Amino acid sequence: MGIAIADMVNFLRASNNGDIITIKVDDQNFEDITITFESPDKTKTTAMALFLVDSRSQRLKIPDWHDMELKYQAIFCMPSAEFMWNCKSLSVIDDDVVISVDNEVISFFTSGKSGCMNIAHVPNKTDKPEKASVTLTHMRGPVELTLNLRYMNSCAKVFTLFDQVKIGLSTTQPVMVECKIEEKGYIRYFLAPKIQIEIEEEKEGKTEIEEAEGEEGKTEIQEEGSPRNKAKRKNAERNKSSDRKEDENKERSKKKKGSRKIKNDEKEDEMLG
């Protein structure tokens, strides 16, 4: 059984600053968990039961980190603020980012319809990363992976709480993004990189859309600017002008007839008088 994260967050919003939060699960009951909020002075207690969900259909087994770490081709650390800035800046260009690492540089690259952007970091090579620097802590060989920036930005939302972020890249393992909670533990994300077939299909789809939009634009320009259409517009304008003149002439003739009739009526009245 698993926990619906969105529901869990909504439950936790019911707590107040300073509350002691206790989460309990019964070994005999796998239908729900009990969440309790207790005020610091122990005068108020709020208890809630959160129903669990069946996660067997979408279970993803993550191997033990100690077994995975040695399989990564590159692991580097960087300031979390720097990582967030990279993701935010690259998102303006496209939805994907290519992260590549070699002995000389760690780069974040993206390209899109409006242009391209490359952010390169020259790393320090040490096992003890400094908080204000980009450090390459493990290197088995060069590696290059493509990731979806939407997921990267989702991970980056919690990075404001931490000084450093650790990233592990491998062509055979999911990308690892880790933030350490000093003396308490860590938050670790695992992201699946995009495969080459998926990248090519997306590029083909984008190209087809751009070509279709370009053809529509050309058709509109041709329809508006072709000699035939220009002649049609001129003829329509002439017809409108002639119709306008004809209406004006009819209106003038009506007014003249009306004035003649009035004069004739006045003459008849004089003769009768």
Task: Output 53 or 80, whichever has higher pLDDT.
Answer: 80
Inter-residue contact 152 to 88 (CB < 8 Å): no
Task: Output 195 or 98, whichever has higher pLDDT.
Answer: 98
Residues 167 and 194 in one domain: yes
Residues 53 and 71 in one domain: no
For the chain, give the mean pLDDT. 78
Instruction: Read off the pLDDT of residues 221-232 as tens digits, 9 standing for 90 and up.
Output: 555 555 666 666
Cα–Cα dist 101/144, whole Å: 7
Q: What is the CA radius of gyration of the chain?
A: 37
| 76 SS3 class | strand
253 within a domain of the structure (yes/no) = no
Residues 49 and 74 in one domain: no
Domain that holds residue 87: 65-200
Q: Residue 48 is inside which H or E element, if any? A: strand 45-51
CATH of the domain at 110: 3.70.10.10
Question: Measuring CA to CA, how many Å separate 242 from each of 198, 230, 247, 255?
Answer: 62, 18, 9, 20
pLDDT of residue 158: 80
Q: Residue 144 is inside which H or E element, if any? A: strand 143-148
pLDDT confidence tier of residue 101, bands split at 50, 70 and 90: very high
What domain count does the chain have? 2
In the listed set 169, 200, 231, which residue is the last one of a domain according to the structure?
200
Residues 187 and 76 in one domain: yes
DSSP assigned state of 132: T
Bridge partners, residue 117, by sequence: 110
213 within a domain of the structure (yes/no) = no
Inter-residue contact 72 to 63 (CB < 8 Å): no
258 within a domain of the structure (yes/no) = no
pLDDT confidence tier of residue 120, bands split at 50, 70 and 90: very high
Residues 54 and 91 in one domain: no
Cα–Cα dist 273/268, whole Å: 8
224 within a domain of the structure (yes/no) = no
pLDDT of residue 1: 63
Of the ranges 90-104, 175-189, 190-204, 254-268, the best mean pLDDT one = 90-104
pLDDT of residue 202: 65
Residues 70 and 184 in one domain: yes
Residues 73 and 192 in one domain: yes
pLDDT of residue 205: 62
Residues above pLDDT 70, as percent of the chain:
66
Given a cut of 90, whether residue 58 has pLDDT beyond it is no
Residues 102 and 183 in one domain: yes
Inter-residue contact 3 to 55 (CB < 8 Å): no
Residues 52 and 173 in one domain: no
240 within a domain of the structure (yes/no) = no
Residues 80 and 194 in one domain: yes
Residues 101 and 195 in one domain: yes
Given a cut of 70, whether residue 234 has pLDDT beyond it is no
206 within a domain of the structure (yes/no) = no
CATH of the domain at 46: 3.10.150.10
In the listed set 168, 200, 232, which residue is the last one of a domain according to the structure?
200
pLDDT confidence tier of residue 32, bands split at 50, 70 and 90: confident
114 within a domain of the structure (yes/no) = yes
DSSP assigned state of 13: T
Dihedral (C-alpha) 259, 263, 269, 270: value to the nearest 10 degrees?
160
267 within a domain of the structure (yes/no) = no
The average pLDDT across 20-36 equals: 84
Residues 174 and 96 in one domain: yes
